[in-house]
């Protein structure tokens, strides 16, 4: 009988999952990945195998209208496909680990309580992440679960990088810069020694450019600063989020335009960034193909802001040795990589245009003072690795804790 670990990434309207087969020696092997999208509107289940072959793509009953319903639908699919197999552990992406969780942790009732206290710091994500943990513990009570945080990788940054310069009593209540996309940066840092050994121990900026976008300054493989802060709104321009803006604008929205807190929240999380500027789309592909002036302005601003923030983090690092592009835009758009690299040529990046079109991994010329790279991220694999390591189910320290799917 085969043994598996399941990785879950539960959001407000989607439940993403990966199924990994227990490693025989070192590496976790992906068996299937997929998602339930449109939870609450028109739910749809899709799954692919490790070779990207379709395993399922079906509309679901509209009664699948919340996270629990989605987990039930996933469990039914897992039973039909892997019936009789054993689940060794479930790893979860959890957006916020606060100041306390500087690494992944096995979930206990006390941990869950700590994580619930962080809901006000990530109200759009944390409740869904925790809901998935609770639903799994009800359905598979004997199966250990591991929470892997988007914030952990950034713990240990210098005090000035974590500081929000408000009165200290406000900060003591948890207002500090946490940083996000940590699982992505953790993964990139973990593969640098193999993919880009010449910069792995150096000063590297990683640009995670997806629908959420941020930068991380790595020194010796450790995060020393990042562009996302207290929430996932800071820093770079994103698909629907503005990135850094003058906080006075927010006061103006409340005081002069009379918007409510929930209207401002919706504007900041769902209506700004590329979508807000262009008025057309939050999808970089659509904007790059559009001739509309506002679409061009949105792309120009995305590149401008990225170059500006890269300059800032280069100052923090005292210069850089490498720049790594990752995530949806970073991995797939040669045009955006070309434009950001061009704007950073003053740092010493000399792009190799052909390598850039081929997606690298190295996309700078041999003599470039600063090297540039494309490295696909893999947050789910990072979660599987952490889950295996914490539960002692990877590599030689194999220890089966089992329950039927």
> Where along the sequence are the contacts to ligand ADP (CB under 6 A)?
210-212, 239, 283-285, 288, 327-329, 332-333
User: Looking at beta carbons only, is 69 or 212 nearer to ligand ADP?
Assistant: 212
Instruction: Tell me if residue 169 is catalytic.
Output: no
Give CA–CA dist 378/50, Å, rounded: 13
Residue nearest to ligand ADP (CB): 328
CB of 287 to ligand ADP, least distance (A): 8
Between 89 and 330, CB nearer to ligand ADP: 330
Task: Give least dist CB 330 to ligand ADP, A.
Answer: 8
Angle between helices 126-139 and 67-82 (to 10 degrees): 50
For 341-398, give the DSSP string: HHHTGGGTB-B-HHHHHTT-SB-B-TT-SBEEEE----HHHHHHHHHHHHHT-STTS-
Rounded to whole angstroms, how far apart are CA atoms 199 and 321?
6
Question: What is the rounded distance in angstroms from the CA atom of residue 285 to the CA atom of residue 121?
Answer: 31
Nearer CB in complex with ligand ADP: 161/277 = 277
Give the number of C-alpha atoms closer than 13 A to the C-alpha of residue 313, restricted to the C-beta side.
29
Q: Tokens representing 251?
A: 């006061």
**Least Cβ distance, residue 263 to ligand ADP (angstroms):** 24
Q: How far is the CB of 299 from ligand ADP (least distance, A)?
A: 10
Q: Could you say which of 58, 72, 150, 300 is catalytic?
A: 150
Burial of 201 (0-12, 13-18, 19+ CB in 10 A): middle
> Smallest gap, in angstroms, from Cβ of residue 284 to ligand ADP?
3
150 vs 162, beta carbon nearer ligand ADP = 150
State the Cα–Cα distance between residues 119 and 97, nearest whole angstrom. Answer: 10
Residue where the block lists tokens 């592909």:
285
Compute the C-alpha angle 71/30/194, nearest 5°.
130
* CA 254 – CA 268 distance, rounded (Å): 13
CB of 333 to ligand ADP, least distance (A): 4
Tell me whether residue 21 or residue 128 sits nearer to ligand ADP (CB atom): 128
Q: Are 192 and 206 in contact (CB under 8 A)?
A: no
Enzyme catalytic residues: 150
């Amino acid at each position: 009988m085969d043994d598996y670990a399941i990785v879950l990434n539960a959001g407000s309207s989607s439940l993403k999952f990966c199924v990994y087969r227990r490693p025989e020696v070192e590496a976790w092997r992906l068996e299937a990945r997929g998602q339930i999208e449109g939870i609450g509107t028109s739910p749809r289940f899709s799954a692919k195998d490790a070779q990207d072959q379709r395993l399922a793509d079906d509309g679901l009953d509209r009664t699948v209208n919340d996270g629990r319903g989605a987990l039930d639908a996933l469990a039914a699919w897992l039973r039909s496909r892997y019936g009789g197999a054993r689940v060794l552990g479930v790893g979860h992406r959890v957006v916020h680990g606060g100041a306390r969780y500087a690494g992944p942790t096995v979930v206990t009732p006390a941990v869950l309580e700590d994580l619930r206290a962080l809901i006000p710091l990530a109200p759009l994500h944390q409740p869904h992440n925790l809901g998935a943990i609770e639903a799994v513990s009800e359905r598979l009570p004997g199966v250990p679960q591991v929470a892997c945080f988007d914030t952990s990788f950034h713990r240990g940054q210098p005090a000035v990088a974590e500081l929000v310069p408000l009165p200290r009593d406000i900060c003591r209540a948890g207002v500090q810069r946490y940083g996000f996309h940590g699982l992505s940066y953790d993964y990139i840092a973990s593969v640098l020694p193999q993919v880009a050994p010449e910069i792995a121990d150096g000063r590297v900026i990683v640009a995670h450019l997806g629908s959420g976008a941020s930068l991380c300054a790595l020194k010796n493989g450790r995060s020393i600063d990042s562009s996302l802060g207290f929430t996932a709104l800071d820093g770079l321009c994103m698909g629907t989020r503005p990135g850094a803006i003058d906080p006075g604008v927010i006061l103006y929205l409340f005081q002069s335009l009379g918007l409510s807190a929930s209207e401002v929240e919706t504007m900041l999380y769902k209506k700004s960034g590329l979508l807000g500027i262009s008025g057309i789309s939050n999808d970089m592909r659509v904007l790059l193909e559009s001739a509309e002036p506002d679409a061009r302005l949105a792309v120009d601003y995305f590149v401008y802001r990225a170059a500006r923030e890269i300059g800032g983090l280069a100052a923090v690092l005292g210069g850089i040795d490498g720049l790594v592009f990752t995530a949806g835009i970073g991995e797939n758009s040669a045009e955006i990589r070309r434009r950001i690299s061009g704007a950073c040529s003053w740092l010493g990046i000399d792009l190799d245009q052909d390598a850039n079109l081929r997606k690298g991994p190295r996309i700078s010329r041999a003599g470039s003072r600063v090297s540039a790279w494309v490295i696909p991220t893999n947050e789910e694999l990072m979660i599987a690795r952490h889950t295996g390591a914490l539960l002692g189910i990877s590599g030689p320290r194999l220890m089966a804790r089992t329950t039927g799917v």
